[in-house]
Amino acid sequence: MGLVDALVLASSSVSFLGAVAVLLVTYIMSSTFFSLQKDRKEPPGPRPLPLLGNLLQLDLGRMYFSLVELSKKYGSVFTVYLGPKKVVVLAGYKTVKEAFVNHAEEFGEREKIRLLHEFTKGNGVVWANGDSWKETRRFVIRNLKDFGMGKKVCGEKIIEESHHLVEEIKKFKGEVFDTSRPLCCAAANVICSMVFGNRFEYDDPTFTSLIHHILKAHELLGGLSSQIFNLFGIGKWFPKNQEFLRVTDSTKEMVLQLVTGLEESLQPNMCRSLVDALLVKKQTLEDAEISNSHFHNENILMTVTQLFSAGTDTTATTLMWGLLLMAKYPQVQDQVQDEVRQVIGGRQVQPEDRRMMPVTDAVIHEVQRFANIVPMSLPHRTNRDVIFQGHTISKGTTLFPLLGSVLYDESEWEKPHSFYPAHFLDKDGKFVKRDAFMPFFAGQRQCLGENLARMELFIFFTTLLQRFRFTPPPGVSEEELALTPVMGLGFTPSQDKLCAVSLMSEE
């Protein structure tokens, strides 16, 4: 045997022994892990690989659907490993309700998302935890009520905005238009009227740029580059992640300019908006020389940004789905418009009309259920060890509540996978509430703008159906209208082009 042959043989032996060693270590690690998991009665789940976890068993682009499939095998409480991160998934109405209503305190913390934390720094009312979150949330809820949320004045602001929305859609004269732009502007203006104290014209460059940046950030946050950085802590330099940081920095700068403008004309005895109330609170605490206040500039700025973001995207997306479903199912649109004519006629829609319009109310609820716009809700984290449904869930464990599995729970809904407004009507045609209707989530993290969103959806949707007939674009049949969502941070319609034909004679 020559020297070269000997070296090759030795190298092969080393490689073989190395491979065996790696496999042995992997087996020992895996066996040890599952032995501990069994002893501690942790939720079951598929066997993970070192470092990769269960990523090879999941479709990152369709994560929600992958987790729903796993729930069919492992039950309503199960464990997956997203790379090295352990996640406990909660599926189905009964499990999600028990977790976030009956165990609200233990499951109430928000999980830290690496890329998003680069932007928020733990501030605001959505991704914050602890005393800062509790105090800020309480203050925001109390003051939004003072500025009209859930009251008559709130309805007046939405009605005013509905007039601007109608005028904007009329400009297209029945031709094809992108529903997302006017709907985003309308929803954003409602939250702006309470947060900033005024609305904006739909072509205002600062306003439209702010909306664009918010939607772009949501798109990037749901992308693969973001997921890699969030899971493994690498890839912050990826082009998409750098774009996210640039977009969010620009967003923060635009919001700062709006807040600064209000601060310059601030009159503590005459608060015009939530921003004014936050600034007065900060000033009062500073004058009293109270240290460690949660009402500092960064928290105020992030709170305002998150309210604008949440108040724009979810409401506008739900309305987009609503108009698409009306075009897809014209017989349902007929039923709504018949009820609108009987109850309202040609007068202005009012919030109190909802009580006399069970069909319209049922359709709006079914749009929210069927659209399932935030199927995985937002991730949570346990703040202590918990025994839940016989399983041990450790402190600091990430939780994924599958909100879509609640809205599509086959044990709760007669036709969960169909658009079926009768879910919310009894045999006499009266509106009925359903316990498993949880689009605004539940517990400590329930959407703080739920009452506002519900009023917006009713007034905007009913006004639009009063004034327009929504149809597919020319050359596209109702059957061809796609209901397949675009998957990012949430589910948005892939079909956002429709026609709106005027119904009012004076138009």
Residues annotated within a binding site for heme: 447
**Residue pointed to by tokens 């149809």:** 471
Amino acid identity, residue 164? H
Q: Answer yes or no: are the C-beta atoms of 216 and 210 closer than 8 Å.
A: no
* Binding site as annotated, residues: 447
Cβ count within 10 A of residue 18: 10
Tell me which DSSP letter residue 339 carries: H
**DSSP per-residue letters across 352-383:** GGGGG-HHHHHHHHHHHHHH-SSTT---EE-S
- The two beta strands, 85-91 and 77-82, are antiparallel
Q: Please state, as a whole number, how many other Cβ atoms lie within 10 Å of the Cβ of residue 436.
A: 19
Tokens of 123: 């501030």
* Range list of β-strands (E), 332-453: 380-381, 386-388, 391-393, 398-402
Question: Could you tell me the two tokens for 406?
Answer: 């609640």
**Residues 194 and 148: beta-carbon distance below 8 Å:** yes
Q: Which of 331, 335, 330 is nearest to 357 (CA)?
A: 335
Closest CA to 343 of 356, 362, 360: 356
User: CB neighbours (10 Å) of residue 367?
Assistant: 25
Question: What is the b/e burial string over 258-272, where b = at least 16 CB atoms within 10 angstroms of the residue's CB?
Answer: bbeebbeeeeeeebe
Residue 88: enclosing H or E segment and its boundaries?
strand 85-91
Name residue 492's beta-bridge partners: 486
